Structure 1
Amino acid sequence: MAGSSTYEGFSAEERSAMKEHAQARKKAARLGSRADKAAEARRDVLAKIAEMGDSDRVMAERVHAVITAGVPELAPKLWYGMPAYALDGKIICFFQSAAKFKARYATLGFSDQAKLDEGAMWAAAFALTEVTAEVEARIAALVKQAVA
C-alpha cells in the first residue's frame, strides 16, 4: 500500500513500563493480607519517587504529599512503573516523570475513572514544570473532584 506507515513496535520506554507493570502485579499476587499489600505498595511508590532525578523527584514528592493528605482514601501504588493513586483498586490519577518517556515536562494524569467530566471535552492530564503553592491547591481540588 502506497503511503502507509509501518508499525515499528513499542519503544524501549514503553516496553520497560509494561515489564514494571507485570512485575508489580506478580508481586501483589504473592503478598498475603490487604494491609501487607497496601504497605508494600506505599513503599514501592516512595522508592520509585526516590529514584527520580532532582526536578521530577521534588515535584513527585509534593504531588504525593498533596494527594495522600488531601484524599487519604486514595491508595498509593505503582502503575506501569509510575506513582499512582487508586480508589477501590482502580487508578484515579498518576504522576509521570519527564524522564519516563523522555518528555519535556512531568505530567499529572487522570484515568477514565476520575470524575472530571465537564461538558463535551475536559483535560485528563496536566503538564507540570514546578509545584508551587498555587499548583498544590489546584492538584488538591482536581483530585478531590476526581473522587467526588
Structure 2
Amino acid sequence: MFTTMFKGWFAKNQSNYNQFMKALLSDDIDAMNYYMNQIIMTTFSYFDVGQNEPERFYHGFVLGLIADQTDIYEIRSNRESGFGRYDVMMIPKIKETKKYPAIIMEFKVRNIKREEIHHYGFAFEGKKVLIG
C-alpha cells in the first residue's frame, strides 16, 4: 500500500525518487540532501510536517521511500536494540556489503545551530568498535 501511494506521489518526479535511493545506497550525503529537499519542496506543505511531532511524519515518509527495497533489504522500524530503539534499520539480505551496506536511520528535530551539532555513529561487533 505504501509503495503504491508514495510512487503515485512521485509519478512526475520519479527521477528524484530514484536518485535519492541511489544516493542513499552509495552513501552520497550531498545528493541525498539535494534530492530529499527537491522531493519535499515539490510535495509537502508546511502543515504536513506539523509542529508537535515532525519526526513521526518524516519517519513515515522515509519508510515509504524505502518500502520497495524489500527484495534486497530487511526493513525494520522502531525496534528495540540494547537499552533503546532505533528509528529505521535496513539490513541487507545479500551479503555483498560493498554494494548493499547496512543502514541505520535516526530522525531528530534540529532546534540548535547546525555548527553546534556533532554526529557520531557507533558500530559494535564483539570487542571491535567503529565510530564514524
- TM (norm. structure 2) is 0.38
Higher relative contact order (CA 8 A, sep 6+): 1
- TM (norm. structure 1) is 0.35
Larger-Rg structure: 1
